[in-house]
Structure 1
């Protein structure tokens, strides 16, 4: 009974901490389906610019991972989270400004791109801080559980935020983006005030600086597999609404609100992701991180290929669900292996370094796939993502030869 009580107490502490990740990712999800259509159809910029507008957030997250890890390891995880929530408020203000400036396209684009940079930095500080904060509260033995809970908060936030953003936008992209920005700022203020009441933990590095690039090199084999596997999420997040437009599944510029619309596809991705983490995360400890990743990649590849050949919206939604379920365990399965290879004093930097590979993948996939779509259409992007996952599968098969079966 004491062990059961301890597990429940630790789960409550983890959930209370990653709640701030949930707030951040609701804010990330809110504009996700609105930005491509606002940029391309609302203010008239090229589809490559629309892809860049989404991906710039991930590039900013990449650039700020080292800073976030340094803050966590030397100043404490709660301070990193508080900074992330302040930046979330600023990102919301800039997003609202972009909507308000829709009649001046270049000014609107500038405000939007700046908001993406700020939001990406907020994501880095909040996400890295929450994981390390929770590990500090419950102990390193719960690392896989912490990473899984944080991922549930992340993609659950996107699953909640994406359809809410579409509902706020309706048929009025500019006013909808203003509403999205205001709600983002409100969530940031609420999160900041709440986080200030939560107990802090000592810096994981005891106040000492770390060499981020050395840690980056240590975790790179696992991060490379994550990067290749993340292209599937990147193409769904960035191009699913434009894919629906091209397929003629709803009127241009307005994501379908029906049962199999683009917003539903994003939500199903997030829901499948959450369910897979809830029911299968224990398989990481039982079967090993690499083995779980290999099985997950097969599922993700199947989902992406299903979207590629989908003849109707409900098939695309099913493909998004399989992709979300497959992608769900890749991050924690590879992440536990990565964190195990650095000392406990550099835990924040290790999480930040490992997450860099996700950031690079999502940051580059938008503009690169946008260029591909101009020549081959949006459906081809899901085939490209499946091929990327196949490369990740090959890398994991190679890694398994040199690692123990248990992760």
Structure 2
């Protein structure tokens, strides 16, 4: 909007939060089942840890498939419409999870309902989050892209920090139908709130083909995907990691991960503008790698908690830092497509982490998962370092 440049920080944040709230609804729906579904699939339905990881990862693959399309739909029809569609999908995931709770006496039917629910949740995540981010970028202007992406991440991990332990509480009191009912309610309420808000004007201009968008953002996305694996193995397998050692408090580790993530976003997000997205990512990835190595070698609960906190703190700025650089590669009318394509690599990392980690557990034990994740994050560091070198060499090449 034309007056965005003269708004105060508080006014800018108020505008951003007014639409990022839909990201909060979406990721609260994502966070509620995280600490519960693996145990339900493994212990109640009687399936293996590989299947438990696969059920979680189905959502990420669904998000991966739909994320680029969500960006192009937002560019074409406007972000509000895409957000409303995403909230409907989130609500449907809750309905299908309720059906899974009612059919658990037939494990394969219950598993099928869970899988369908995870697919709907994946579509809901991609539409709601991408649409809300682009919506925020449109109402405060391109100069505030880092601020919008950072607030989107705060909403994401605040929701997951609340969702993980709250999902456990609801599950202990009502079974999985407890959090599933809440997911349905948030989908309905969020839809009507989004519908009541004014739409924003869609940027006009010639749009480049998808393959050119992909080429321009793929290196940034690949670094993001490798860096995301650290989050994936904590979110999906930390409960089984604790159970394998007869420890309690897995939900606390998830909460500390999210708390570290949110704290760094709130306090240090301006580092992206000050030092640049690529350099900020380099430091962040090193911290994340250290956190994962601590979990790998942990011998007590507090060490796992420390590792989770450092992993969340490290990963915190990776998405917005690399995302700012990725979005710069295209014009405004293609930013939704670029954001969706870039975000799809996050979903790819999360989707692969579940089944691959399940196979690692079967052969080398659950600790091996965190060593493997640390190595992947190191790979993200090397990709980002290469991008820094390319950035340094570009002006010389142009002159």
TM-score w.r.t. the length of structure 1 is: 0.93
Structure 1 residues 6-155: aligned runs within 5 Å = 6-155=8-157
- The alpha-carbon deviation at position 31 of structure 1 amounts to 0.3
State the SS of the aligned residue for 1:374.
helix
CA RMSD in angstroms comes to 1.5
- How far did 1:221 drift? 0.7
**Take 1:67 and 1:205, find their aligned partners in 2: how far apart are those partners?**
18
By how many angstroms is 1:322 displaced? 0.2
Deviation per CA, 1:268-313: give whole Å up to 9, x if none.
1111100001111111111111111110011101100111111111
Could you tell me which runs of 5 or more consecutive residues in structure 2 were left unpaired when the two chains were aligned: 394-399
Separation of aligned partners in 2, 1:26 and 1:66: 22
Matches within 5 A, 1:150-189: 150-170=152-172, 175-189=174-188
Q: Trace 1:149-298 onto structure 2 (pairs within 5 A).
A: 149-170=151-172, 175-205=174-204, 211-249=209-247, 256=248, 261-298=249-286
Aligned partner of residue 230 in structure 1, secondary structure: helix
Deviation of 1:152 after TM superposition, in Å, equals: 0.6
Cα distance change, pair 227–46 in 1 and its aligned pair in 2 (3 A): same
Kept after mapping to 2: 8 A contact 1:165/1:180: yes
How big is the shift at 1:204?
3.4
User: Given the superposition, is the C-alpha separation of residues 5 and 75 from structure 1 closer, same or farther in structure 2, using an over 3 Å criterion?
Assistant: closer
* Counterpart residue number, 2:397: none
Q: CA deviation at 1:212?
A: 2.4
- Give 1:330's aligned residue: 318
CA distance in 1, matches of 2:378, 2:98: 40
Distance 1:97 1:56 in 2: 18
1:381 matched to 2:380? The reply is no
Other structure's SS at 2:200 match: coil
* Residue in structure 1 matched with residue 297 of structure 2 by the alignment: 309
- Using the alignment, how far apart are the partners of 1:3 and 1:199 within structure 2? 20
Shift of 1:205: 4.7
- Distance in 2 (CA, whole Å) between partners of 1:165 and 1:105 is 21
Query: Which residue pairs with 1:401 in the alignment?
Result: 389
Secondary structure of the residue aligned to 2:8 is: helix
Other structure's SS at 1:44 match: coil
Q: Judge conservation of contact 2:207–2:333 (CA < 8 Å) in 1.
A: no
Contact 1:34 1:166 in 2 (8 A): yes
The answer as to whether partners of 1:205 and 1:346 remain within 8 angstroms in 2 is no
* Aligned counterparts of 2:181 and 2:5: Cα–Cα separation in 1: 44
1:34, distance to aligned residue in structure 2 (A): 0.6
Unaligned 5+ residue runs, structure 1?
250-255
Name the CA distance, whole Å, in 1 between partners of 2:210 and 2:101.
37
Distance in 1 between residues matched to 2:224 and 2:196, nearest whole Å: 34
Task: Give yes or no for contact 1:338–1:354 (8 Å, CA) kept in 2.
Answer: yes
Counterpart of 2:333? 345
Deviation at 1:377, TM superposition (A): 1.1
**How far 1:8 moved relative to its partner?**
1.7
